[in-house]
Structure formats: C-alpha cells, structure tokens
Amino acid sequence: MCIRDRFKVAEVEGSQMRVSFDHVGAGLRVARKEGLAAPVESKELELAHFEVADSSGKWHAAKAKIEGATVVAQSDAVAKPLAVRYACEGDPENANLYNRAGFPASPFCSRLDLLPWGE
C-alpha cells in the first residue's frame, strides 16, 4: 500500500508557516528521484516548490526546511503569512519532499480558497 505524506495542518508562527503531515513514519527527507529508481536522499538540495501567501492572498516563493516531522516555510517578501502551499503548479518538476519510506509528499494548499481555481 502506498502511503504518501499528506498535509494535516499549517500553523502561523510569526513570519513562518509550520506544516504537519499524516503518515510521516520515520521522518521526512529531501530526495532526488530519477525515473523509476527509488528516491535518493540529497542533503545538499533545498526543498523546492513551497510558497506562502501574504495578507492579500498573493503567493511568494518560500524557503523551506525540515524540522523534525514538520516543514517550516518562510519568504522574505511576507511578514505575516496567511497560507502555505507545496507543488501546486500543474506539473511541478523536481518536487523533492519525501518520507523516509520513499513516498513523496502530496501537493497541498492550506487555504484552497486562495488557489486561482478555488474561487
């Protein structure tokens, strides 16, 4: 059975968003995947495809890091984030958040009403 990391909740912590997931298992990792091969952990890579929304609902690219079983995302352009999303483009290349079992995190948005198709 394939169990992906699924978005559970996002909480505002000052200028950051802390994201929690279901099914983290033994933890999270940044990994690179080539074709059908298993993902390979890559400590030199940064998490990709995270964005945070400002108070007007505009999305900004965010730096994200793994902290235990959570991910913390922050953008220098956003002092008080409203929401966070991951891999929400139509076909994001190199989405690289995985759990230790090798399953990818599912794309998510903490505020679906802020997506262009959520109106």
The more confidently predicted of residues 109 and 92 is 109
Q: Is 74 a member of any domain? A: yes
Query: Domain limits at 45?
Result: 6-104
Q: Is 119 a member of any domain? A: no
Q: Is 31 a member of any domain? A: yes
Task: List CB contacts of 72: < 8 A, sequence separation 6 or more.
Answer: 13, 16, 17, 18, 19, 64, 65
Q: Is 58 a member of any domain? A: yes
Q: Is 113 a member of any domain? A: no
Return the percentage of the chain with pLDDT > 70, whole number: 94
On the question of pLDDT at 5 being above 70, the answer is: no
Q: Is 110 a member of any domain? A: no
Q: Calculate mean pLDDT across residues 72-98.
A: 93
65 CB neighbour count, 10 Å cutoff: 14
Asked if 87 and 62 count as a contact pair (C-beta separation under 8 A), the reply is no
Q: Is 114 a member of any domain? A: no
Total domain count, the chain = 1
Reported as a single tens digit per residue, the pLDDT across 17-32 is: 999 998 788 899 999 9
Q: Is 61 a member of any domain? A: yes
